[in-house]
């Protein structure tokens, strides 16, 4: 019986994103038999791990790291600086006024130093900055609080702080929609700027929140090649293949889809997953990790998101933890 981690041992670690509840029961069984890397789905984000100025919540992230170590898995950290799931206190002083650029940088430094420092030597790769590039418009910088208060420097500073806290950790910029022409170009410009300035960045994370309709092999390969040309490693960091069309398409078709799984979706998903992993293997050496965003279709963050009351089935294991048709196409190759 092939497993994901045995099939890919000569290529890259196969990871999975989990919460603390997955560390026992059927999830835990599947995680330890199939995967070789673990990522906290939420537990290391700014809000969850640093809820108040001088208070860290180490229990959940510690438990995830301990589980990984017990089972001989690597750990991929997610994420040190993001505009979402970051507490209000980060940007305001005790009177509720917005903090100065210097004060926000000092907080960012403290946060990154503490979090990376705690797991020094235990986390092999970090998503340092997440989703800093906007989907629309011409600016390469999303107008987040970090950008508005500090300016574009917050990105390179975050990498410098992380590198100082653990010089051996591989540091990544991570984003979604990386196969759309406009966004690929903007991300490329940002990464090139960082490389030119000798910022300690090792790679780029393509989140990989894809669907049975996109991306095409050509679009994906173009992104991999373009980012690799900068001398960066590429990891797929949040892989799932939704069986539903992306929202603009859905709206255009005025779909009333409630999330029922059809035989056609199952086939298309298997074909899409096979194509994706064919491409990943083709870029052996450049692609240094592939992480799935959740364990099985029993629970996925895409349930009821972005469409309420709609189930999704984006993973390789079904709601009963059984491998799907898509699993076979991923592990069976010459």
Q: Measured between alpha carbons, how far is 220 from 228 in angstroms, rounded to an integer?
A: 12
Q: Which of 37, 207, 211, 288 binds ligand XIL (CB under 6 A)?
A: 207
- Asked if 41 interacts with ligand XIL (CB under 6 A), we say yes
Q: Is the dihedral of CA 293, 130, 91, 62 positive or negative?
A: positive
Q: Are residues 156 and 192 in contact, defined by beta-carbon separation less than 8 angstroms?
A: no
Q: Which of 56, 58, 213, 301 binds ligand XIL (CB under 6 A)?
A: 301
Q: Measured between alpha carbons, how far is 27 from 8 in angstroms, rounded to an integer?
A: 20
Our CB check for ligand XIL shows the closer of 11 and 301 to be 301
Nearest to 222 by CA among 167, 267, 181: 181
Nearest to 141 by CA among 196, 190, 200, 197: 190
- Asked if 297 interacts with ligand XIL (CB under 6 A), we say no
DSSP-derived 3-state class of residue 14? strand
Taking the complex as a whole, how short is the minimal distance between the CB of residue 301 and ligand XIL, in angstroms?
A: 3
- Asked if 240 interacts with ligand XIL (CB under 6 A), we say no
Q: Copy the structure tokens of residue 328.
A: 């076979």
Taking the complex as a whole, how short is the minimal distance between the CB of residue 254 and ligand XIL, in angstroms?
A: 26
Catalytic residue among 102, 221, 238, 264: 238
Residues 104 to 133 in contact with ligand XIL, rule: CB under 6 A: 130
Residue nearest to ligand XIL (CB): 301
Q: Measured between alpha carbons, how far is 316 from 8 in angstroms, rounded to an integer?
A: 15
Our CB check for ligand XIL shows the closer of 38 and 270 to be 38
Our CB check for ligand XIL shows the closer of 16 and 165 to be 16
Taking the complex as a whole, how short is the minimal distance between the CB of residue 247 and ligand XIL, in angstroms?
A: 14
- Asked if 42 interacts with ligand XIL (CB under 6 A), we say yes
Taking the complex as a whole, how short is the minimal distance between the CB of residue 121 and ligand XIL, in angstroms?
A: 24
Q: Copy the structure tokens of residue 34.
A: 């199939």
Taking the complex as a whole, how short is the minimal distance between the CB of residue 199 and ligand XIL, in angstroms?
A: 20
Our CB check for ligand XIL shows the closer of 215 and 329 to be 215
Residues 150 to 169 in contact with ligand XIL, rule: CB under 6 A: none
Our CB check for ligand XIL shows the closer of 166 and 240 to be 240
Pairing of β 209-211 and β 233-242: parallel
Is 238 a catalytic site residue? yes
Give the other-Cβ count within 10 Å of 290's Cβ: 24
Q: Measured between alpha carbons, how far is 57 from 214 in angstroms, rounded to an integer?
A: 37
Residues 50-89, mask of contacts with ligand XIL (x by CB under 6 A)? ----------------------------------------
> DSSP labels for 50-93?
--BTTB---HHHHHHHHHHHHTT-EEEEEEEE-SSS--GGGGB-
Interface ranges with ligand XIL (CB under 6 A) = 41-42, 130, 207, 238, 301
Q: Which residues are annotated as catalytic?
A: 238
């Amino acid at each position: 019986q092939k497993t994901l981690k045995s099939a890919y041992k000569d290529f890259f670690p196969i990871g999975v994103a989990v919460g603390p509840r997955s560390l026992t029961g059927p999830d835990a069984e599947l995680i330890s038999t199939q995967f070789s890397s673990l990522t906290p789905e939420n537990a290391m984000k700014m809000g969850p791990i640093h809820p108040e100025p001088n208070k860290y919540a180490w229990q959940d992230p510690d438990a995830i790291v301990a589980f990984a170590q017990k089972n001989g898995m690597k750990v991929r950290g997610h994420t040190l600086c993001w505009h979402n799931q970051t507490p209000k206190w980060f940007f305001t002083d005790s009177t509720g006024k917005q903090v100065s650029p210097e004060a926000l940088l000092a907080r960012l430094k403290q946060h990154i130093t503490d979090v990376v420092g705690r797991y020094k030597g235990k986390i092999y790769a970090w998503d340092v900055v997440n989703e800093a590039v906007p989907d629309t418009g011409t600016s390469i910088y999303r107008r987040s609080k970090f950008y508005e208060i500090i300016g574009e420097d917050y990105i390179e500073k975050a990498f410098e702080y992380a590198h100082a806290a653990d010089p051996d950790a591989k540091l990544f910029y991570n984003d979604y929609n990386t196969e759309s022409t406009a966004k690929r170009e903007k991300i490329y410009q940002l990464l090139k700027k960082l490389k030119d300035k000798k910022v300690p960045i090792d790679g780029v994370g393509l989140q990989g929140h894809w669907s049975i309709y996109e991306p095409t092999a050509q679009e994906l390969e173009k992104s991999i090649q373009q980012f690799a040309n900068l001398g960066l490693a590429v990891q797929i960091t949040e892989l799932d293949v939704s069986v539903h069309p992306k929202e603009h398409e859905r709206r255009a078709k005025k779909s009333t889809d409630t999330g029922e799984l059809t035989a056609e979706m199952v086939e298309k998903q298997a074909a899409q997953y096979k194509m994706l992993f064919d491409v990943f293997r083709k870029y052996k050496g450049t692609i240094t990790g592939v992480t799935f965003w959740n364990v099985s279709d029993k629970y996925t963050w895409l349930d009821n998101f972005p469409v309420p009351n709609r189930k999704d089935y984006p993973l390789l294991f079904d709601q009963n933890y059984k491998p799907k048709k898509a699993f076979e196409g991923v592990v069976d190759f010459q």
